[in-house]
Amino acid sequence: MIHAWLVPHMGIKFLHCISIFLLGAGLTDAEVTQTPKQLVTEIRQQVNLTCHPISGHTGLYWYQQVTGNGIELLVYLQNNKILDDTQFSKDRFSVIWPKSSPSILTIKTTELKDSAVYLCASSPTTALQHQCLSIHKYLSSPYTLFLRPVQDSSQLFPH
């Protein structure tokens, strides 16, 4: 989402926000977690989102929801291998999920269109299935990433 702030003597400032919300797991002790909870960065930066799936789960899903649109599957991994990345822009994103480790979704160079809600979920299923987000029991907790404008105009137009 993009917010405009009116600051006295400074005109209109734009704050570019990427909000990443990963919903709670409910009443279970096991839950998917993501770190860090908040991150502020400028555009054209690399950002790493880390998802800690539930131990023993073999499926991991990364979703993106741009404000005003529905949730889209970015990438589905099973047993640490990518099985579905049809909506995944490999030139802008990368993902890894080493065995017995968290998954890392990397935005290689942030752009305004990365302003979105990102969701990570894990699943104990072993069959390749495209499950609706609403049936994922194991989602992580809220996460927010903020993009701010470049302060130094020389960064916009390098010599």
Q: Looking at residue 128, what is its pLDDT? A: 47
Report whether pLDDT(129) > 50: no
pTM beyond 0.75, yes or no: no
Q: Quick check: bond before 36 cis, omega within 30?
A: yes
Please state, in angstroms and rounded to a whole number, the distance separating the CA atoms of residues 61 and 53.
10
First to last CA, the chain: 31
Highest mean pLDDT among 17-21, 102-106, 123-127: 102-106
Tokens of 110: 């942030």
pLDDT digits (tens, 9 = 90+) for 43-100: 999 999 999 999 999 999 999 888 888 889 999 999 989 999 888 889 999 999 998 8
Domain boundaries, given as residue ranges, for the chain: 2-153
Tell me 54's DSSP state. P
Q: Average pLDDT over the chain, rounded to whole?
A: 71
In angstroms, the CA 141 to CA 159 distance is 42
CATH of segment(s) 2-153? 2.60.40.10
* Residue 5: predicted pLDDT: 29
pLDDT of residue 152: 53
